[in-house]
Amino acid sequence: MYQSKNNTGVTVDMLRAFVCLSRHLNLSKASEELSTTRQTVRRHITDLEVIVGQKLFEVIDRQYQVTPEGLERLEEARKLLLQLDAWAGQSSLRKNTAGGLEKLQYTDAEGRVFLSQQHPVSQIGLNGLPLMKMALEAWGNAMTQIEHEAMEAIRPYTVIYRKGPTGWVFVDVGKESAYARWFGWAWSKSVIGKLITDDNLDDEYNEFSGGAYSRIYDEGGVRIDHILAHLPKDGGEPQPGTFQRLLLGGVFPDGTPGLILLAVITEQIEIDALDDTDRPKLPADMIMDTLPALSPAVTLLPHLQKASHSTL
């Protein structure tokens, strides 16, 4: 283990070098992004390793790899940089919290604005969409077990993630899910086993889209957000869409935690920062406001059976 004789503290440049090299795993690409030299990036990494007293990278077959110790520190380093950039007014992501509920705004390189607003979970019971109620009930009856038979009714509409060493990995994408409906079934089949960050978008966007995942994953809790995003439809150009997203902490049969995501494409969203004139009009065949026709083998509680009949 390293020992620091003159610990002058971690600098922003060290953190940027760490996060950037972990993304590219290549000194040349990291130095190019940071507009500096390979030697400078290497020095920042070495200095940081001395300060924290751990190896953050190792070189295997001439390829940089993040060590397990580095992976443990990576998410925290990313969040620190995002916070610093936000304080300096240099971030494309804005976040504020009121009453424990988050509001996010992200602007991409093309000037497109993405919005997200967290809502109380109680909203689902009061006036939630039928699929949201169905998912929350299934999750409760399954006692968070992802492969429990109680989850069968909702599984076709969900996306399941497992947290790997380098990020969130797609485990399953339901054929009837909003992901498959929006991106296309071919895309949905191809992402199994991939990281959600494999699209190489920036850290601000990854924080906007997936920043809530870790807390729900760690705590095994529940969270609902209303979201406006610009996403490529069927492999084409990004189009604006609105949806409600429910995150549920889950457990795989081997006892390891997972994350269940249900997205419902809908125009029924409440986002304070979204003007009515900017609300996108969604094609009728994309909207998921009503319960689908269910197999006779699927049993719902009486209030959900009633909702199903009233909306078909």
One domain, residues 21 and 115: no
Strands (E), 2-100: 57-60, 63-66, 93-98
66, 87, 108 - which closes a domain: 87
Residues 215 and 295 in one domain: yes
Domain membership flag for residue 43: yes
Instruction: Please check whether residue 3 lies inside any domain of the structure.
Output: no
Is residue 258 a part of any domain in this protein? Answer: yes
- Same domain membership, residue 263 and residue 160: yes
- Residue 189, token pair as written in the block: 């089949």
Q: Contact, 284 vs 267, CB < 8 A?
A: no
User: Is residue 269, in this structure, part of any structural domain at all?
Assistant: yes
In-domain check, residue 245:
yes
Together in a domain, 167 and 250: yes
Domain, as residue range, for 66: 12-87
76 with 184, same domain: the answer is no
From its phi and psi, is residue 200 left (phi > 0), alpha (psi between -120 and 50) or beta?
left
User: What is the number of domains present in the chain?
Assistant: 2
Which residues, 6 or more positions from 27, have their beta carbon under 8 angstroms from its beta carbon?
Answer: 21, 38, 41, 42, 64
Taking the CA of residue 23 as centre, how many other CA atoms within 13 Å lie in the half-sphere pointing to its CB?
Answer: 23
Q: How far apart are CA 310 and CA 196, in angstroms?
A: 37
pTM of the entire structure?
Answer: 0.78
Counting every residue, how long is the chain?
Answer: 312
Q: Are residues 156 and 57 in the same domain?
A: no
What is the DSSP-derived secondary structure letter of residue 287?
-
What's the CATH code of the domain at 57?
1.10.10.10
312 residues of the chain, pLDDT tens digit each: 444 445 568 898 999 899 889 888 999 999 998 999 999 999 999 999 999 999 999 999 888 999 989 888 888 888 888 778 777 777 888 888 888 899 999 999 899 999 999 999 999 999 999 999 999 999 999 999 999 999 999 999 999 999 877 778 999 999 999 999 999 988 888 999 988 876 556 778 888 888 888 888 877 899 999 999 999 988 788 999 999 999 999 999 999 999 999 999 999 999 999 999 999 999 999 999 997 654 444 444 443 333 333 222
31 to 41, 61, 90, 166: CA distances (angstroms): 6, 20, 20, 21
What is the DSSP code (8-state) at residue 51? H
- Residue entry with tokens 């797609």: 170
User: Are residue 62 and residue 187 in the same domain, yes or no?
Assistant: no
| Residue 269 near residue 228, CB atoms below 8 Å | yes
Residue 48 lies in a domain: yes
Residue 122 has a pLDDT of: 95
Query: Based on the domain organization, do 33 and 118 belong to the same domain?
Result: no
Whole-angstrom distance, CA of residue 257 vs CA of residue 162: 7
Residues 138 and 162 reside in one and the same domain? yes
> What is d(CA 264, CA 292) in angstroms, rounded to the nearest whole number?
12
Count CA atoms within 13 Å of residue 207 on its CB side: 26
For residue 291, the 8-state DSSP code is P
Cα 180 to Cα 28, 79, 153, 187: the distances in Å are 37, 30, 17, 7
DSSP 293: P
Cβ within 8 Å of residue 17, ≥6 positions away: 30, 34, 40, 41, 44, 45, 48
In a domain, 198, yes or no: yes
Considering 42, 70, 87, which residue would you say is the last residue of a domain?
A: 87
CATH label of the domain that carries residue 199: 3.30.450.20
Per the domain annotation, does 206 fall within a domain? yes
Are residues 236 and 108 part of one domain?
Answer: yes
CA distance 90 to 271: 24
Last residue of a domain, one of 61, 87, 113: 87
63 and 129 co-located in one domain: no
Same domain, 80 and 102: no
Distance CA(138)–CA(136), nearest Å, equals 6
- Tell me which long-range contacts 207-210 makes (C-beta under 8 A, separation of at least 24): 207/78, 207/79, 207/82, 207/93, 208/93, 208/104, 208/106, 208/114, 208/116, 210/168
